[in-house]
Amino acid sequence: MIRTSRRLADGREILYFDGEPTSRDAVDPRDLPPVATRSQLRFDALLGEWVTVASHRQTRTFLPPADQCPLCPSRDGRRTEVPESDYQVVVFENRFPSLATAVERDVPATAPGAPLAELRPGFGRCEVVCFTSEHDRVFADLGADRARLVVDVWAERSAELAALDGVEQVFCFENHGEEIGVTLSHPHGQIYAYPFVTARVEKVLDSVRRHRAAAGADLFAEVVAAEAAGPRVVAANEHWTAFVPAAARWPYEVQLFPLRKVPDLPALDGAERDAFVQVYLDVLARFARRFDTPMPYIASWNQAPVRHRDDWWLHLQLFSLRRAPGKLKYLAGSESGMGAFITDTNPEDIAEQLRNVVVE
150-170 pLDDT, tens digit per residue, is: 999 999 999 999 999 999 999
> What does the pLDDT read at residue 67?
84
Over range 316-330, report the average pLDDT: 94
pLDDT of residue 264: 98
In the chain, residues under CATH classification 3.30.428.10 are 200-355
The model carries a pTM of 0.95
Q: Is 247 exposed, middle or buried (0-12, 13-18, 19+ CB in 10 A)?
A: exposed
Dihedral through CA 69, CA 70, CA 73, CA 74, nearest 10?
100
Q: How many CB atoms lie within 10 A of CB 233?
A: 17
State how far the Cα of 70 lies from the Cα of 93, in Å rounded to an integer.
Answer: 13
* Average pLDDT, integer, range 194-207: 97
What would the pLDDT profile of 82-134 be if each residue is shown by its tens digit? 999 999 999 999 998 999 998 888 889 999 999 999 999 999 999 999 999 99
Catalytic residue flag (residue 135): no
Q: What pLDDT does residue 266 have?
A: 98
Instruction: Check whether 360 has a pLDDT greater than 90.
Output: no
Tell me how far CA of residue 349 lies from CA of 148, 234, 243, 246, 251, in angstroms: 31, 11, 12, 11, 11
Active-site position among 56, 135, 186, 188 = 188
pLDDT at 268: 98
User: What rounded mean pLDDT belongs to the chain?
Assistant: 94
Structure confidence at residue 58 (pLDDT) = 67
Residue 37: per-residue pLDDT: 81
Residue 52 DSSP SS3:
strand
pLDDT over threshold 70, residue 8: yes
Task: State how far the Cα of 276 lies from the Cα of 290, in Å rounded to an integer.
Answer: 21
Per-residue confidence at 62, pLDDT binned at 50, 70, 90?
low
The superfamily CATH assigns to domain 200-355 is HIT-like (3.30.428.10)
